[in-house]
C-alpha cells in the first residue's frame, strides 16, 4: 500500500514539474503581451489626450 502511495506521489510530482515547465513560459509570454498592450494603449490614450488638449 505504501509503495502504491509513493508511486502516486512520484507521478504527481513529475506531473507538477512538467506543468510548471510548460506553464511558466506560457504565463510569462502572456504577461509580457498584456504589459505591451497596456503600455501601447496607455501611450495612445495619452497622445490623443495631449492632442485634444492642444486643440482646445
Helices (H), the chain: 2-55
Domain assignment of residue 50, yes or no: yes
Reported pTM:
0.41
In this structure, is residue 45 part of a structural domain?
A: yes
pLDDT given at position 31: 86
pLDDT tens per residue, the chain (56 residues)? 577 778 888 988 988 888 887 777 777 888 898 899 988 888 776 655 555 666 65
* 4 falls within a domain: no
> How many domains does the chain contain in total?
1
Range of the domain at 43: 24-56
Q: Does residue 33 lie within any of the structural domains?
A: yes
In a domain, 8, yes or no: no
Burial class (CB in 10 A: 0-12, 13-18, 19+), 7: exposed
Amino acid at each position: 500500500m505504501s509503495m502504491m502511495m509513493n508511486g502516486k506521489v512520484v507521478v504527481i510530482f513529475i506531473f507538477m514539474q512538467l506543468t510548471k515547465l510548460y506553464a511558466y513560459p506560457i504565463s510569462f509570454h502572456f504577461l509580457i503581451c498584456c504589459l505591451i498592450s497596456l503600455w501601447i494603449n496607455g501611450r495612445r490614450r495619452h497622445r490623443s489626450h495631449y492632442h485634444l488638449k492642444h486643440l482646445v
